[in-house]
Structure 1
Amino acid sequence: MADQRLPLAVVRPVGALSAAHRAWVSHPRWSLAVKGAFAASLAWFVGLLAPEPFSQYPYYAPLGAVLATTSTVVRSVRESLQSVAAVLVGALIARTVHLLPLPGLVELAMVVGLALLCVGWRIFGDMGSWTVMSSIFVLILGNGGDGDGMEFIGSYIGLILVGASIGIAVNLLLPPLPLTPSELALGRLRDGMAEQVELLANWLEDRGTLDPDEWEQRRQQLLPTVECARAAVARTREASRANLRVRYKRNEYWIASQTRRAGALGTSAEVVDEIVRLLVEWERDGRGEVALGQRLRPEFAATLRAFATALRAAVTRDVADQAAAGAARDEAADAVAGLDRSVERLRDVVRTAQRSSEQTYLVAGALIVDLARGADALRL
């Protein structure tokens, strides 16, 4: 009996750990929160140990630490420098205006106005808003005597710089590399396109002409998924720069794989969008000459299903483990070959229809070109 229970006692913890790991890598914000909390706590501790007058304001060090741990390694360095520069400019604005004999309300308005003028400076990048925050902090909290004011400014800027340095160091030791989220985004794009193509094929066979409003809405609904996948892969590529994790567990191959598949699926998304757009415009009631008609719809629907099959295989064409990529490569190649054959059959059917009809089938030709372009995109 003990021997029979042993596998259950072993499998359950392993399964739980595996599920926990999948959840962890699928939600990079969790690791970001842990890393940011650790860096902020360390920066606070360093601020408390700093000599006077820095130890009077230890709460500014965690600001710099959090800033540096909320992005990629390369960006954290750039944004930390930009934020320190913005803080410095804001502090100088507040200190300079405070030296003028102005009423409190006028002084505040001038400080905020001048700081807002600096927000859009290219040198600050996305960190320009720190100019306004810094100017207000310095104006309100550092407006004592000349010595106190300069002491506050020095402590404020110095502690943010120290905190940012700690955050950068933590980011270098524990760099983000969101490979799993970008993989999931590519999978959602793949599924969304394949589903739309299959639904379009079913619609053409069962209902014939398209409902323009409904299919235009479906076309628009896919666009955010396309942008999300592109942004996710772009974040992964940026995170891979100066990232030590790229060298481990074949992550470098995985990143290259995602980049290739993102390009293929991006081109395929353009093809799907163009096909739906052309059919919405031409394959509908009220058109004197439709794109396909009853004669070509069945063959075109069959080609769309072959396209959907190739799309579903494309996302598994490359995998992180090169040794396991062979079967996926063969599957994708077979799917694209099937799409090629289907496109050629559709081309023959259109040629036959042209010879026996006065209709030009120009839109059908454009649709064939789009499908051929989609096949080329998936032929990696």
Structure 2
Amino acid sequence: MFAQVRQRALTAAGQAVATERLVLAIRAAAAATIAWYLAPLLPLADADYSYYAPLGVLVSMHPTVADSLRSGLLALTGLGSGILLGLGGLLLVSLGAPGVVAVALVIVVGVVLGGIQALGTGRDWIALAGLFVLLLGGRQPDDFSLSFLITMAFGVVVGVAANYIFPPVYLHEAGERLALLRARIAEALEHMADMVGEGRIDAEMLTQVSEDLTNLSSEVAAEVRKADRSRRANPRARRLREVQQENDNAWWMLEWSTFFARDLADLLRRYPRISEEGRADLLTAALRHTADAVAAAPGEGWDEADDAAEAVDDYLTRLDAGETPLADRRPALAAASAVGSLVDMTRELAASER
């Protein structure tokens, strides 16, 4: 338990001080300072509300240009809706409704409208902006609302502009995560080969291997999606189209490879006697050659894939020649099929990266 907590704390600390995060923090601080300094110069906006400009920067500051633009626009949409809602609440008060009733209605309607998924990050601003206008608008709610909206919009523009200056592209980071997933799949196959070769299937370790691959695959998927978003509205990405194509091909193949590796681990866990069908040394050889093929450098691995395919064929030939009833051989045949599918994925990946 303590080890898990410690590991999670170290992971969180590493994420907080990652280079990517530190650069984003410096960029956000610089943009917020500029927005706050320039906000009093805005026409139609009261300088007393210039502190909303840094807030606009924060809502639009994301790792990618596309995310910054989208988040900023959605926040302004939610903000504008909330301002209209707050003005509606003030109208009720002017007509004689108790203030507490107006507050309750603004919150109820704002939270209900916040359920619209299409508004994204703007959902949280509807009730909040409505409450601000209702409680802080004072005797000049129109002036407050206009200043609130203009100043926040200015902050969003500054935030998006700050991200557009040397915008980050996360294609190489995604490539590194894909390489890590490739290495982990190969490592998992080596562990399975050791178990089969020694005739000792460790169910607990296989479960852990499967979970680790699942978790890493999810993290890599998120990294690949972020890399794809970082290309949008990014002039630097035009020179990196080939890198993006390589990442897309690698992810498609490795996603399926992860599935087959997990399927193989599950088969060995549920049917530990698989290694007794045919010959354990043939299955072990197939697993080791496949691990070598998966671990090969991008665009390579042809010889390793050929060796793995030959080893899988030898194992299947042995299974077909056995006298064991077909029903008893099905788990071993399924395992051979999973290994064969991994070899096919490896060949396709090698071909796509040439």
Aligned counterpart, 2:188: 196
The offset of 1:232, in angstroms, is: 0.4
Secondary structure in structure 2 of the residue aligned to 1:350: helix
Aligned counterpart, 1:287: none
Letter in 2 for 1:44: W
Aligned counterpart, 2:107: 112
Aligned counterpart, 1:11: none
Among candidates 290, 295, 301, match of residue 307 of structure 1: 290
Matched, 1:347 2:316: yes
CA contact (8 A) 1:47 1:54 kept: no
Distance in 1 between residues matched to 2:19 and 2:341, nearest whole Å: 35
Aligned counterpart, 1:255: 244
Among candidates 326, 340, 349, match of residue 372 of structure 1: 340
Aligned counterpart, 2:3: none
Aligned counterpart, 2:49: 57
Q: Deviations over 1:198-244 (max 9, x none)?
A: 11111222243443x44224322321101000110111012112211
- Alignment coverage as a number of residue pairs: 329
Distance in 1 between residues matched to 2:118 and 2:246, nearest whole Å: 34
Alignment of 1:269-280 (within 5 A): 269-280=258-269
Aligned counterpart, 2:279: 296
Aligned counterpart, 2:218: 227
Distance in 1 between residues matched to 2:128 and 2:63, nearest whole Å: 20
Aligned counterpart, 2:10: none
Stretches of structure 1 lacking an aligned partner (at least 5 in a row): 1-22, 284-289, 318-328
The offset of 1:266, in angstroms, is: 0.8
Q: Could you say what the CA RMSD is over the residues aligned between the two structures, in angstroms?
A: 2.3
> Percent identity between the aligned chains?
25
CA contact (8 A) 2:168 2:230 kept: yes
Letter in 2 for 1:308: A
Letter in 2 for 1:120: G
Stretches of structure 2 lacking an aligned partner (at least 5 in a row): 1-14, 350-354
CA contact (8 A) 1:306 1:339 kept: yes
- TM-score with structure 2 setting the length: 0.85
Among candidates 315, 331, 336, match of residue 363 of structure 1: 331
The offset of 1:342, in angstroms, is: 1.8
CA contact (8 A) 1:193 1:272 kept: yes
Task: Describe the shift of the 1:206–1:135 C-alpha distance in structure 2 as closer, same or farther (beyond 3 A).
Answer: same
Alignment of 1:134-283 (within 5 A): 134-142=129-137, 144-145=138-139, 148-211=140-203, 213-248=204-239, 251-283=240-272
Alignment of 1:121-140 (within 5 A): 121-140=116-135
Distance in 2 between residues matched to 1:214 and 1:332, nearest whole Å: 28
Aligned counterpart, 2:64: 72
Distance in 2 between residues matched to 1:244 and 1:206, nearest whole Å: 55
Distance in 2 between residues matched to 1:332 and 1:295, nearest whole Å: 27
Matched, 1:334 2:300: no
The offset of 1:259, in angstroms, is: 1.3
- TM-score with structure 1 setting the length: 0.80
